[in-house]
Amino acid sequence: MSDAKTGDSSPGHLHRLVLFSDAVFAIAITLLAIEIHPPHHWHGASDLFNQMGRKLLAYAVSFAVVGVCWFSHRRLFARLAKADSGLDLVNFLLLGLIALLPLGTELLWEDGNQALPIYVGLVALIGVAMGVVWGYAAFVGKLTEPMPVAEAWFIWLRVTLLPGLMCGLSLYSLVHPWGWFLMIALLVGLGWISKRVTAAPPPKTATPKAA
């Protein structure tokens, strides 16, 4: 049975996959807030924020993580020309990890010291899953628009490593402020490399000779 009959490469396949993915991101970011409950007894705003400080900090970190992952996911899928069942599978694996972020956030605010490696590990796995999605789309399924090979590999490296690095540096910077300079240097360096890589012309497609 051909792809046209199964709908694997139908024009609406990629669009529906993006819509489904956006829904999972939206639900995950909503659950982050739903899980936050005020203390039973508090006196004034300062006491409230003092008791909820760890929860609000964990929420802010996870909100940023989901936002960065959604932004990266959107940019990746904007480069795709079509989708297939293989992309569905690897994207589902990614979304399954995204859906675990509310649980990881709850662990983070309940016991930050023990849960910190677990949380950073989860975010790092999300980056690896994002790299698997792009690796399949760019190198296996050939689902992307034409682009230089160097650019495709740079995108793979960036989406694979950046979530875990940024999350780890963000939490590290809360204790050691100079960590923010490392984050800025990392982002500036990646931006500079991206401009150099994307400046290369896209690969030329062979044109059939006239008979």
The pTM score is 0.78
The candidate with the shortest Cα–Cα distance to 94, out of 134, 35, 152, is 134
- What DSSP assignment string belongs to 121-160? HHHHHHHHHHHHHHHIIIIIS--BPP--HHHHHHHHHHHH
* In-domain check, residue 160: yes
Q: Which residue did the predictor score with more confidence, 48 or 117?
A: 117
Lowest mean pLDDT among 23-27, 118-122, 178-182: 178-182
* In-domain check, residue 175: yes
Ramachandran category for residue 44: left, alpha or beta (phi over 0 → left; psi -120 to 50 → alpha): left
* In-domain check, residue 101: yes
pLDDT digits (tens, 9 = 90+) for 97-139: 999 999 998 888 887 678 888 898 999 999 999 999 999 999 9
* In-domain check, residue 109: yes
* In-domain check, residue 81: yes
Cα torsion through 187, 68, 127, 121, rounded to 10 = 100
Counted domains in the chain: 1
pLDDT band at 87 (very low <50, low <70, confident <90, very high): very high
Boundaries of domain holding 153:
9-36+53-198
> Using an 8 Å Cβ cutoff, are 90 and 138 in contact?
no
* In-domain check, residue 42: no
